[in-house]
Structure 1
């Protein structure tokens, strides 16, 4: 995981050779580790900052860990490999689980082995997405496997992008696109099921109206980036309520629906772009991982985006 990364202006990459080198970084985070295997010590971390969250991917070591988390905006601890083993206050955790916390909590962990995990810390300024039901308590839940793997892959993609193309993080719009994809992945991870909503179940007619508002908004701003917070503000509801409406009416998550709308918007751009490239059209709709975009595009439209672009250019030439 770390061997494929190189430090850059967007990616901080630190390797620690021994526990004494690790202590200063740990003290800044109000954490205290007791190593269980000093001779095989190896630790590393990669850090990327997005507009409203910080991603820390860490390779830990066998240890007893006491740490005081102070996260008013909330955080998520996400296993990054399938072999994670740890316990928290006596509760066994493995790679099936993810953990979450908002507020203040003193945590006690035991890691019997080297683990790889991501710690995503959110800014208090980030719009509440209905993730954290309890304050000041770390809680763990079994993750949906597909949602977990998708979130994990997005974290890795962001790290690799920061390593290879750090200039992309210099533009706030691009960084915001990357962050939005991650937030949508966490919406799926927390599984905002409408049946679990705190309020009364949405009436079918109201859900349909909300989805229609989403469609109208996207139609009115076809080239604008699609952010869930903006959609929720436009509809006058919470992100959680909007997610519930989309799940009920469209039979898919808000993440999947927005992705589908972005793919269609990209296709429209390709057909009418003339001189623009596939990459330009894709990035305008928030697709910055072009390999993943091409695969999703082909799966949806049964042709490569370059084929759509060529067909669009031919149509424009015939019309002129």
Structure 2
């Protein structure tokens, strides 16, 4: 999705520069000095989106040399490539590589083409999720095609929704589920599969943890299930829950929680009566991308949410045979 298709809204800021003399750097991951390689072709567009726990800047930059102390004073910074190639501190970085920075790191980068990427700054250091296990530095995480494609799709949908939304209160209600989807994509790209392998002899402990997870999830009732909340309620890290769900059920934590949320929607659609709507049930259970929700629902249950709702509204007749 070209950035040019995004339009400003009450929740999404858009900045466009066609003159290098007017260009201002964005401070999301540190200020630096840019030298355009082709000044006559200068152009930059960025979309700025603050979410509940961080700041996200989607940017198409210009061919340049860049000197910057990249990073953040607290939390963690990431760069997700869309169309990208650079040589940073002598290392070639391309479309398959997510950059993760802790602290501040001096970087000299040569970008010989206009690059498109998302810069993210989270307020949390995300150590509880198992990301980037080092204290200070810039890490390069090469990803598989499918997780990267899903992550990019979630980012595009996030910014498209923000671009179309002019009610800050409505977007605020979607803020948490949007971030949960983004975290799921980042978990899949930044946490290696072997890091989620349970230790030998730990199955019983993980099975008990999952049983406890199910009990806690049931107490949440109709409230959406978010990985951070559940981990906090259980007194463990998100990474520990990830290992446990993988060991016991063979699926990721996010997939497991998504199935629980789909079941919660299904129960509400079957029992909610005439006042229930598909949209209300989906949003109430943390599904913000309704197209993706509908596809997942049909895959899980073999019918559309609307069909479930219609069947739930049909009166039940008890027939007595002769």
The normalised TM-score by structure 1 is: 0.91
The Cα of 1:255 is off from its aligned counterpart by: 1.4
Supply the distance in 2 between the matched residues of 1:313 and 1:92 (Cα, whole angstroms): 59
The Cα of 1:76 is off from its aligned counterpart by: 1.3
Residue among 73, 77, 83 paired with 1:75: 77
When residues 46 and 273 of structure 1 are mapped into structure 2, their CA distance, relative to the original with a 3 A threshold, is same
Deviates more, 1:292-301 or 1:25-34: 25-34
Residue number in structure 2 paired with 1:92:
92
Supply the distance in 2 between the matched residues of 1:136 and 1:28 (Cα, whole angstroms): 14
Superposition map of 1:34-53 within 5 A: 34-53=35-54
The Cα of 1:11 is off from its aligned counterpart by: 0.2
When residues 27 and 261 of structure 1 are mapped into structure 2, their CA distance, relative to the original with a 3 A threshold, is closer
CA contact (8 A) 1:74 1:132 kept: no
* Structure 1 stretches lacking a partner, 5+ long: none
Superposition map of 1:224-239 within 5 A: 224-239=223-238
The normalised TM-score by structure 2 is: 0.91
| Counterpart secondary structure, 1:180 | helix
The Cα of 1:199 is off from its aligned counterpart by: 9.8
Residue number in structure 1 paired with 2:144:
144
CA contact (8 A) 2:198 2:247 kept: no
CA contact (8 A) 1:127 1:229 kept: no
Per-residue CA shift, 1:225-276, capped at 9, x if unaligned?
Answer: 1111111112211111111111111111111111111111111111111121
| Counterpart secondary structure, 2:130 | coil
Supply the distance in 1 between the matched residues of 2:179 and 2:201 (Cα, whole angstroms): 28
The Cα of 1:26 is off from its aligned counterpart by: 6.9
| Counterpart secondary structure, 1:132 | coil
| Counterpart secondary structure, 1:186 | helix
Corresponding pairs, count: 315
CA contact (8 A) 1:147 1:188 kept: yes
Residue number in structure 1 paired with 2:306:
306
Residue number in structure 2 paired with 1:10:
11
Supply the distance in 1 between the matched residues of 2:164 and 2:270 (Cα, whole angstroms): 30
Supply the distance in 1 between the matched residues of 2:54 and 2:285 (Cα, whole angstroms): 21
